[in-house]
Structure 1
Amino acid sequence: MKQIYTILFTATLLICQLLTSTPAFSTDKGDTFTLAIPKEGWPPYIITDTNEPCGIMLDIINEVANCTGKKLHIEYYPEIRSQLMLAEGRVHIQPKAREWVDKPSRFQWTDPVIDSTDVLIFRKEEAHLDNKPLKDLSVGVILGYRYPTLEPLFEQGELRRYNVNNTDNLLHMLHHGHIQAAVTNRHVAEWIIMQSPDISIDQFVFGKAVDSVPYRFALTKAKPMDDFMSLFNKELSAMKEDGRLQEIMNRYH
């Protein structure tokens, strides 16, 4: 099973490199929009360990940029800092879901791109926990993210929240028994496990869905972004109609 995942992962990275052989994100500062992403990425939505960044969300916004004559420049920032910079207008765009952000009204939001579903993950030997009420568990989550279904349980002390910087660390903490459960996007977790030499898919159990929210792009309110928002939404609608969006998603599944 691990070998099959590794073959799929390698094939997708080759596709990324082919698709990005001509840099899609211009570094020309003349007429560019700056896109903020985490250095570690969030594969398969954001992949940063290739020659040029790629992934579902980056391929989508790159397609929009190519079709509308816009240029994009990527900068790497940690999650919380990128939100502060977006609010200040020091970057223009960030892939995000409204529901994950404190005070989402600070930003403009594009139409939904795809759904992102977070699930509970357990160690295989503790699979029984998925069938019990969510109570008295240590749960690892990604720092800077909000989980609408779980927030009341964290606030009331029903669950103990452990903030972790990225999904890779989150899965390894779970693997070593430092937490009892983890919450993350299933596709992201599977992708991370594919490329990890010391964990495998059969060591975990993917439990019930926690939240499913629309993944989209947040735009700064500190700069004029209305025209870009309109162009993005129009082109995104066209991509859904003509199959280009599905074609992008198929590259990573």
Structure 2
Amino acid sequence: MIAGFVVHLQYLSVESPLRMKNRLSCLTFAILGALLLILAPLSFSASASKDISAEKQVFRFNVSPNGYPPYLIVHQNQPSGIMWDVVSVVAQRLGYKVIAEQIPRKRVDQMLLEGYIDGTPRAREWADDPEQFLFTDPVVDIEEVFFVPAKSGFSYQSPDDLISKTIVTHLGYRYPLLEPYFEEGRIRRFDVSRDKDMFTFVLHGDRFDAAIADRLVGKWILRNEGLRQQFDISSESISNYGFRLMLRKDWQSFANRFNEELAKMKKNGELDTILANYR
């Protein structure tokens, strides 16, 4: 191979200057072409990596098909509400774009684990398998109470007061304090898929005694439906839980930064301003 290269150099040395110049030009172009072929895939790979990195700055947030007003409000595919507003503000500061996904309650956990969504609002106590997920600090507190027809004489101090009664509940929701009573049949539950329908059943159904809902959620619905005067609200609650973001466990870094920004919002009054918009 070396001998051939020497012969080639000897051949070049006896060529005319013009012919040698042409050969050198061709050789230069050939080398440049080879370099371009080598570097182009590297450039494309770097560009692709940059695009993939940019695509990862998206937070797919479940708002459910019917929302959960005033925490999540879905109107003409335009979400709003307390949780949506807080998540949007924090995500923007962290460099994420929030995309709303409307996932039915029974499919949420699996779709979160499989990566179709990145987060959903949830109290840790409501999760069937909370150890599978990661939870942020509470954004707000959820207080579940009973809503009953006005002047019905309904009174609640403990679950024993509900024995033999039928309670309207939200489909897919867990009520830890009452679960043993439901399982044993001492208290009957009647599930509906929309929060608004819970109050309709209680008001117009003879066999229903009360509905369970978050105090703020119930007041919001009754006010918007013009039904506030037709319901009484129990002073005692059956639960008081922190309403958080439920994430996959590989979102620990996001959760840490979310908690930091949330703490700032609580301290500087931003969270109170958002809450005031929905009360």
Matching residue of 2:228? 201
| Count of aligned residue pairs for this structure pair | 222
Aligned amino acid, residue 191 of structure 1:
W
Alignment of 1:80 onto 2:109: no
Task: Measure, in 2, the Cα distance between the counterparts of 1:205 and 1:127.
Answer: 9
Identity score, percent: 35
| C-alpha distance after superposition, 1:181-212 (max 9, x if no partner) | 1101111112112222xx61111110121111
Aligned amino acid, residue 147 of structure 1:
Y
| C-alpha distance after superposition, 1:27-67 (max 9, x if no partner) | x9553111112121111111111673111111111110122
What pairs up with 1:86-97 in 2 under 5 angstroms?
86-97=112-123
Alignment of 1:71 onto 2:100: no
Q: Contact (CA 8 Å) 2:63, 2:79: kept in 1 or not? A: no
Question: Which residue of 189, 213, 231 maps to 1:184?
Answer: 213
Task: Measure, in 1, the Cα distance between the counterparts of 2:96 and 2:57.
Answer: 8
Q: Contact (CA 8 Å) 1:137, 1:159: kept in 2 or not? A: yes
- Structure 2 gap ranges (5+): 1-53
Moved more, 119-128 or 240-249: 119-128
| C-alpha distance after superposition, 1:139-185 (max 9, x if no partner) | 11111111121112212222001111121111111111241111011
How many angstroms does 1:225 deviate by?
1.0
Alignment of 1:98 onto 2:135: no
How many angstroms does 1:134 deviate by?
2.0
Aligned amino acid, residue 72 of structure 1:
V
Task: Measure, in 1, the Cα distance between the counterparts of 2:105 and 2:196.
Answer: 15
Aligned amino acid, residue 106 of structure 2:
I
Task: Measure, in 1, the Cα distance between the counterparts of 2:237 and 2:204.
Answer: 23
How many angstroms does 1:118 deviate by?
0.4
Q: RMSD value over aligned CA atoms?
A: 1.8
- What SS does the corresponding residue of 1:128 show, helix, strand or coil? coil
Matching residue of 2:64? 38
| C-alpha distance after superposition, 1:96-134 (max 9, x if no partner) | 111112111121101111110000111114233446822
Aligned amino acid, residue 246 of structure 1:
D
Q: Contact (CA 8 Å) 2:134, 2:247: kept in 1 or not? A: yes
Aligned amino acid, residue 45 of structure 1:
Y
Q: TM-score, normalised by structure 2?
A: 0.75
Task: Measure, in 2, the Cα distance between the counterparts of 1:205 and 1:50.
Answer: 31
Matching residue of 1:133? 161
Question: Which residue of 153, 168, 171 maps to 2:196?
Answer: 168
Task: Measure, in 2, the Cα distance between the counterparts of 1:192 and 1:72.
Answer: 26
Kindly name which structure, 1 or 2, has the bigger radius of gyration based on alpha carbons: 2
Matching residue of 1:211? 239
